[in-house]
Structure 1
């Protein structure tokens, strides 16, 4: 039995397409953290099992969703991600014949302001999302949570489609949210920051994304992405510096 787990908040614009792409699963669990749009109503239409839970951070929220699932095999997917027909077939083959694997990494092809990004460090963006519930769980990190696996992890070839950033307003909102969450996580871990570190890490982030990871091959979107990556890195360190003060 395969259970799909999804965490949501105000995802009415994206959740329908996500649910269509996983409608073949045995069970769909949605944990919502206070949506005030049509997210929950859309999930009901697709027959998803819905739990409402206050926001504790990405890792803890996904572990809560995991605790509600009944299947032995778990597929964790975000509301802005889609399972392609090719990926569905590969997932079904993998869990039918796991060959000693207890988890699989899946490549993810992400769009940025209307363009799929094939460089800039965004492709192939491997994420561990398919796993046996007895051998894996999520870290409790506030943001950038990861799946902790005890056992062999394989790699699938077919990919997720990820509608990551739709427009500049979406970009600015996510940049602010993630830089704050990242700073909080670093602060809890007693890390330090300074203005010099903030500037240095920001410049390095641009150089790595645009030049080392050939983001220039992604056209103008590659340049915008490199600048936004640098800004997010700069603000994360700057926020940490002020938190430490």
Structure 2
């Protein structure tokens, strides 16, 4: 895991892993809350390193941490494995010939389960993965066969709307800057490629579509089926649409003014003397 001020998640995610994970590593970006305290109490191997982008941070973790388990799993502090997923992964790691394992992640928002599922690659044989070196939306790269696990990884999307909005504000700023600077995407965009390549293609061309925000809202509400979650589903669909609108407006502002946005401090604390610090 990587973290910055994740104390509100750390206890629960470590309880979820207790008795299942052989070892747990955390690369912390100098949290100012009790993230490190909680992790150390639970026996987690913690190091600290200033944040330089998601892809960069994950590649540091894979190359520098003393991982001994035969399989490695990327996990975010706001995610929880269901018992079915744990059993499925155990079986596949023992009997399967795959190089990587994909899982189904489902979204929880305002303590409701939304019918929003995403197939993501999260498990691989140790030493056989690198991440795309991008600021946001990093993607693991694994050569060889990828198989699908059963069960779900639950994504608890922020403890409250205040946290969610702050997170999305930072995300849209990073995306707007990346777009203006024409940085490489997670993978080359291709309309006829795999799911990730298609997503990158739509991400690149979305801004040219007339009525795009109405279409995006309708896609979330009707195609993804969030209407089944009632008002919570409507709110999430609306907010997700506004994330893209905010992203577009920030990009317009940068192009109009010629200035990059002022960064909102992430409020990291000082390095903790109890763990190694990599500068």
Candidates 46, 51, 71, aligned match of 2:47? 51
2:159 is equivalent to residue 161 of structure 1 = no
Q: Give 1:116 deviation, angstroms.
A: 0.9
Equivalent pairs, count: 232
Does 1:25 find its partner at 2:21? yes
183, 188, 204: which one aligns with 2:215: 204
Shift of 1:190: 5.9
CA distance in 2, matches of 1:133, 1:159: 22
In the alignment, what sits opposite 2:134? 141
Match of 1:36 among 29, 32, 37: 32
- Of the two structures, which has the highest relative contact order with CA contacts closer than 8 Å and spacing of 6 or more? 2
**Is the CA contact (8 Å cut-off) linking 1:135 and 1:150 kept in structure 2?**
yes
Displacement after TM superposition at 1:50 (Å): 0.6
Q: Distance in 2 between matches of 1:116 and 1:208?
A: 18
Structure 2 residue 65 is the aligned partner of structure 1 residue 65: no
Quick one: structure 1 residues 202 and 179, their matched pair in 2 at CA, closer, same or farther if it must change by over 3 Å? farther
Deviates more, 1:76-85 or 1:201-210: 201-210
Cα distance 1:87–1:152, how it changes in 2: closer, same or farther (>3 A)? same
How does 1:88-167 map onto structure 2 within 5 Å? Answer: 88-99=86-97, 101-118=98-115, 122-123=116-117, 125-167=118-160
SS in 2 for 1:209: helix
Q: Distance in 1 between matches of 2:178 and 2:143?
A: 24
Q: CA RMSD in A?
A: 2.0
TM-score, scaled to structure 2: 0.77
Aligned partner of 2:266 in structure 1 is none
Q: CA deviation at 1:227?
A: 0.8
Question: Aligned to 1:230, which of 241, 245, 248?
Answer: 241
| TM-score under structure 1 length normalisation | 0.87
| Unaligned runs of at least 5 residues, structure 1 | 1-5
Q: Which runs of 5+ in 2 are unaligned?
A: 185-203, 257-279
Alignment match, 1:3: none
